Amino acid sequence: MLKLNRITALTLAPAAALALYAGTATAASAPAALPAQGSTLSVTAPAAAAQNGAVRTVTAFFDQYKSAVEGTNPHMNPREVRNEFLTARLNARLDTWADEHSADPVFRAQNVPQDRSVALGASNPRTTTVIVTQYWRGGDPTKVRYTVPTPGGRIIDIQGA
């Protein structure tokens, strides 16, 4: 079992975050890269696998959705991508959000981000939060939080951070 101070890639050193995401960190090397403050949380192999699965799900969704919005995904349109990765309840909430804000409900903007980075956020036995930082041409980056059930499954929430 690996002891970590906080399970957020935002507080991990970049090399440690990448190693944890790739599953290559060892108990001997990871703690040295972590901050000394915060509460201690134990991460078991199944929990780490679930967290990595959440990161993979959000990354796949974001990349496929962006391609669909840009018209470069030959297999799916944006609605089909959303239906594949998001719960029906979340899709309905996003449709309402889009109507109220006249913007894309996933990107939380009227245009498409140029690039993105993905980081593991908070996790508990029920859910894992993944934070996507969206980079805009000529603008400040924005963060969007995605919530995925920790055991796996479809994305259950998307919110501006």
**Mean pLDDT computed over every residue of the chain:** 77
Looking at residue 56, its pLDDT comes to 92
Residue 153 CB: number of other CB atoms within 10 A? 13
String of b and e for 86-107 (b: at least 16 CB within 10 Å)? bbeebbebbeebeeeeeebbbb
Q: State if pTM tops 0.75.
A: no
Q: Over the stretch 57-94, which tens digit does the pLDDT of each residue have?
A: 999 999 999 999 999 988 889 999 999 999 999 999 99
Q: Residue 13: pLDDT band by 50, 70, 90 thresholds?
A: very low
Confidence of residue 47 (pLDDT cuts 50, 70, 90): low
CA distance 14 to 31: 13
Q: Is 65 exposed, middle or buried (0-12, 13-18, 19+ CB in 10 A)?
A: buried
Beta strands in the chain (DSSP E): 2-4, 41-43, 115-123, 127-135, 142-149, 157-160
More confident residue, 13 or 81: 81
Query: Is residue 101 predicted with pLDDT exceeding 60?
Result: yes
Could you tell me the residue ranges of all domains in the chain? 1-43, 49-160
Q: State the architecture of 49-160 in CATH terms.
A: Roll (3.10)
Count of all residues that appear for the chain in the document: 161
